[in-house]
Amino acid sequence: MGSSATTHRALASESRVRILHLLQEQTAPVGVDAIAGHVDLHVNTVREHLDRLVECGYVRTSVEVRNRRGRPRILYSAADDSPEEVARQAVRDKVTRLLAEGYGRVVEQPGLAAQAHGKAWGTTACPGLPDGRRAPLGGEGAAAGQLQALHRHLDELGFDPTVDVERLQVHLHRCPVLDLAQVRADVVCNVHLGLAQGLLAQHPGPLRAERIDPARITPAGPLTCTLHLTQG
C-alpha cells in the first residue's frame, strides 16, 4: 500500500479512520454525500479525505451506472485486495475518475489536461525512497537516485518497469489500465507521463520525463511502452 510513511500519514487522521471503517461496513459502493452524512463532515472535506485514502490504496472508486442523463457519480468502497492489486487499482481509480470528471465537458487539449492531472498526482502519491529498497540500476549521484525512485514507484503501481540507463529510457512492460488505454490512449498515456514527471520532481536531480511511446497492440498482446527521459 505504498511507503510506510505515506500509510501512517493517511491513518493519522481520526476522520479518515472513521470514513474507512464506515466503508468497510458497507455491502455496496456509496457516494460522497452519503459518507458525509454519516460522519457529519462537509462534502468537500470528506472528498479530500477520500482522495488520500484512494492514493494510499485503502479505498477504491467506481463510476455509477445510471440510466438517466447527467454526470455519473463517483462511488467509494473499501479495498480488500492484495497489495499488488491495490496498487494497480490505485492507477485505475485515478484514470477512471479523470475520465468521469470530464464526462459531458468539452476539453480543447485533453492530453495536456491529463498530463497536468498526472503530474499533480505524482508529486504527492509516493513520497520518499525508503532505505534498503533501491533498485539495482547502477551509477551515482542525483540522476541515479531519481532513476531508483522512479523505478520503485512505477513498480509499486504495477507497471513492471525496466530501466535502460544509457538511453535514459524506462520500459513499461505492463499497463494497469490497458483496457482504458485502448479506448482513450490520449488521456491514459498522458496521465502516466504526468505521473512520471511528478515522481521525478519529488527527487532533486537533472532528469525529466519527456514523452511516452505507447505500446502497439498486436494479436499476441501489447508490446512495451517506453518512457523517454531527458537530462539537463
Dump pLDDT digits (tens) for 111-139: 788 888 888 888 776 544 333 333 334 44
* Distance of alpha carbon 218 from the chain centroid: 26
Whether 97 shows a pLDDT value over 50: the answer reads yes
> 222 pLDDT exceeds 60?
no
**Highest mean pLDDT out of 44-53, 61-70, 80-89:** 44-53
Measured between alpha carbons, how far is residue 48 from residues 11, 24, 132, 137 in Å?
13, 18, 32, 36
- Mean of all residue pLDDT scores within the chain: 79
Q: Are 121 and 198 in contact (CB under 8 A)?
A: yes
Using left for φ > 0, alpha for ψ between -120 and 50, and beta otherwise, residue 36 falls in alpha
Q: Which domains does the chain have, with CATH numbers?
A: 4-80 (1.10.10.10), 124-231 (no CATH)
Range of lowest pLDDT (29-43, 55-69, 145-159, 186-200): 55-69
Model confidence at 174: pLDDT above 50: yes
pLDDT score at 217? 57
